[in-house]
Copies of this chain bind each other. A is one copy, B any other.
């Protein structure tokens, strides 16, 4: 059995991701309750054969048609193929990865889909990564632009408290990352994305990078449920549902063709159900 590489922040980070998971699930369940639904998250633990494991949380709600919130702490050794791609893995193949990730597909096409993930990776080096982005179903609609502005403002505030350059850099990174080259379009209306913070991406030291990563999660926790509450009672028509199915198809295309996290998880023997929980409840082509 491979021992996990150690880092003083590994346990506190894992504990924080669990706390954030609990608060996110509570926030989403509260929205269901307000809509008169008694939908609640169901949690399933899984173990990773190579070391570690996680907990999938899934709710199929009235407002939040499909909400997946996962936490995991996995460790082991990278295969030779991956060692070249991961900072610090060429020296020593051992790794530990702990994180929280969520994707929410609301039922109403007036409510944007959202994704959030924050993580801490330890090899012979260590770094934080993460971010959040929203995908409104009609990117040109006035309400979508308002929601995107609100979502970005929350992340901008969180960024500005830590580094005046973070928001510009990480929102640009998000736009570049969540891009479908074969369609020539962005997945949604962005947010922020950052990786290797404290390693390839200059940070402010491990404690400060952890504090920033916490604030990213809290910014999402504040902003996204607020957007859902603002939109959940708006009426919509069948034409908008059809656009939603089409846009959800593009979401599937991104996740299966391009998303580094999805492909990384599938290739390293991660839990398939947890990894593909990001896929929408329906989609059409």
Q: Which residues of A are at the interface with B, using a C-beta cutoff of 8 A?
A: 66, 182-183, 245, 249, 252-253, 256-257, 263, 266, 272, 276-277, 279-285
In the complex with contacts A253-B276, A257-B256, A182-B282 CB distance below 8 A: no
In the complex with contacts A272-B182, A284-B282, A253-B253 CB distance below 8 A: no
- Chain B residue at minimal CB-CB distance from A105: B285
Which residues of chain B have C-beta atoms less than 8 A from A282's C-beta?
A: 245, 282-284
Question: How many Å from the CB of A66 to the closest CB on chain B?
Answer: 8
17 further A-B pairs in the complex, CB-CB below 8 A; given A281-B284, A282-B283: A66-B285, A182-B266, A182-B272, A245-B282, A249-B279, A252-B252, A252-B256, A256-B256, A257-B257, A257-B263, A257-B266, A280-B284, A280-B285, A281-B285, A282-B284, A283-B283, A283-B284
Closest 8 CB pairs between A and B?
A256-B256, A279-B285, A282-B284, A182-B266, A182-B272, A256-B257, A283-B283, A281-B284
Which residues of chain B have C-beta atoms less than 8 A from A182's C-beta?
A: 266, 272
Which residues of chain B have C-beta atoms less than 8 A from A266's C-beta?
A: 182, 257
